Amino acid sequence: MRAVRVVVADDHQIWRSGLRADLGEAFAVIGEAGDAASAIKVIRREKPDLVVCDLHMPEGGGIRVARECGADVPIVMLTVSEAERDLLDAVAAGAVGYLVKSTSVDDLRRNLYRAAQGEPVFSPSLAALVLGEFRRMHRGAGGTQALSEREREVLQHVARGHSYKEVGEQLFIAEKTVENHVRNILGKLHLSRRQELIRYALDHGIE
């Protein structure tokens, strides 16, 4: 199985070196950058499978990287910040995931592999923040009327950061069926990327 091609962006070279070592053989770091502008250049040149990016870097930080490259490649923020605003801003900018740097190596590898497939990933404590935001949002029906009950259930689990396999286990359906539901939801809501489901759920108070 081909290694996941990764670009790592962080303004601390020692941290980049440590992350490169932690990722192991399932990942191949094909580029590094110490600021947002350099990261964007490397991403556009190398066309990686995944970007692991610090939130706070010179030249605009991870938010700028997500805004400019999130439509082309899955981007995961790997940061020390557990602030709710930072999390929501990253999702709004186009990040597919948000993990804290205290994440264990095994969990990091597992989540980054999922993110490379386009699945949203969050540290558990941060997923709880997302759900808290759901509860505070105004509850409007909007486009959700077009969704079936099963599709709404799938959307709820995906927005919590669950993998397709985990969603299938929770709902007693096949992983492929979950993927098909997500594809149908994207079509009904006129969304082009999986991470936009999280933003949609926030905007429509789906919990």
Query: Per mean pLDDT, which range of 5-9, 17-21, 124-128, 186-190 is the poorest?
Result: 186-190
DSSP states of 70-119: TTTS-EEEEES---HHHHHHHHHHT-SEEEETTS-HHHHHHHHHHHHTT-
- At 143 the pLDDT is 46
Q: Are residues 164 and 66 in the same domain?
A: no
CATH number at residue 90: 3.40.50.2300
Residue 170 shares a structural domain with residue 115: no
Percent of residues, the chain, with pLDDT higher than 90: 36
pLDDT tens column, 47-90? 999 999 999 999 999 999 999 998 899 999 999 988 878 887 88
Residue range of the domain that includes 169: 137-204
CATH (domain of 172): 1.10.10.10
Number of domains in the chain: 2
Do both 97 and 69 map to the same domain?
yes
Q: Is the pLDDT score of 145 beyond 60?
A: no
Residue 129 maps to a domain = no
Are both 78 and 177 inside the same structural domain? no
pLDDT at 33: 95
